[in-house]
Amino acid sequence: MSSLIEKPRFSCALAAQQTVLAIPGGIPVIHAGPGCASKAAGFAAFQSGLQGEGYAGRTHISCTNAGEKEVVFGGEKNLEQVIDGALKVLKGDLFVALSGCTAGIIGDDTAQVASTFARDGEPVVGVDTAGFKGNNYIGHELVVNAIVDQYVGKVEPSVKKGLVNLWTVVPFQDPFWRGDLEELKSLLEKLGLTVNVLFGYGSEGVAEWKEIPNAEYNILVSPWVGLEIVKHLEKKYGTPYIHYPVLPMGAKATSKFLRTIGKEVGVDEQTVEKVIKKEEKRYYDYFISFSDFVAEQRNVLPYELYVAADSTYAVGITDYLVNELGFIPYGVYVNDDPSSEKADLVKEAYKAVGEEYADTLQFQADGGLITRDIDKKLGKSKKALICGSYWERCIAKDTNNFFLHLSLPISAEIITNSSYVGYNGGLRLIEKIYSYAFNRGNLSSRTHVE
């Protein structure tokens, strides 16, 4: 974007420091002005469901605090000293130096500085993530590709049957990233696959990253974020990729996901159907019990839908809520600012919701315009579910409509390993959405007693 926006939903490329922190044993080293790393962490960690700073995050991030001296004389020597200090003081398996706007403007070569340590056998990577490079979705791709090139390196792949690399949501920018990765890994493992998730609790850290070239497939679950990564890996190691653009939620979408992936990677069809049969039986047993509540309270439950989220979640949750729970979309606002080419990929993915709803999809990074459009369309309705950030929460509260935290900023809910992905995620969504009815205080006394 080249203009000012109100109520931003993403940060600059430097916030990809959180991508590094999501790798077990990953340590970011920042070459930027004072406060840049802290502000990025404040948004992407604390305004993302209060996920905390973790080891070597936020106040513990090593930084050059570049100022006037570096602008005049260059800051590469300063960066070299900070990296050297971090290696001595911090316990980590991979150190990634990320440069901010100051370093980008004066032309400091972060990758070159990092390479001097790498030549001595130190696990150090450098990447230019100046804010003007783009937002932290772009920064995420830049950091991953830099790690692949400078740390994983040029190796001859030794392909392992059934091993796949999973690429999907952006850590921390997706407030549910930890639970999402665990759920997607669990689903793929049910097909008999071995899954490198690369980030979070289920990852083995840098050992998994070293295994990236040996994967039989790269699986991307996202409309566009991560596409540059899997294309790069195909070119570098010859690994084919499977691009699945819709984040699966609920029974219908998840079963479709399993069938598609199973077919692409060559899993026996009977094996796939056996998994689906078991999971769907469990899901629909729970779903049927929930239907009693719907039958009892159908007159006060919402059916209008508004979603403000990045492309991955906006498409995935709308698909589930429309095609499985019966909502009607009135406004779906994609706010990760994709290029026109990437926006076409999102439009194609959105067809899963239903081609009759194509005109409900908007690409809007300006949060102020999003909230005003929702407010205008709502009118006096009390039958809407609004999914989004703190800003959309304010609209729901003011209009007495239903609300679900879905996208940043989130400062009024603690998120640990929650997820709305898969069969389990669909059930969890039902719990979250319809429990909100009790907050409105207008349920009958048969189900709600003050």
Domain CATH for 385: 3.40.50.1980
Q: Judge whether 36 lies within some domain.
A: yes
Domain edge (last residue) among 126, 152, 178: 152
Overall domain count for the chain: 3
Residue that is last in its domain, among 152, 184, 217: 152
Q: What's the pLDDT band for 182 if we cut at 50, 70, 90?
A: very high
Does any domain span residue 284? no
Task: Say whether both 337 and 367 belong to one domain.
Answer: yes
The reply to whether 167 and 91 lie within a common domain is no
What's the predicted TM-score (pTM) here?
A: 0.95
188 lies in the same domain as 113: no
pLDDT in tens, 332-348: 999 999 999 999 999 99
Mark whether 17 and 142 lie in a shared domain: yes
Query: 310 and 191: one domain?
Result: no
- pLDDT at residue 448 greater than cutoff 50: no
Residue-range definition of the domain harbouring residue 194: 163-265
Residues 167 and 141 in one domain: no
Q: What is the largest CA-CA distance in the chain?
A: 74
What backbone phi and psi angles, to 5 degrees, belong to 341?
A: -65, -45
444 confidence band (pLDDT: 50, 70, 90): low
Residue 200, in any domain of the structure: yes
7 found inside a domain? no
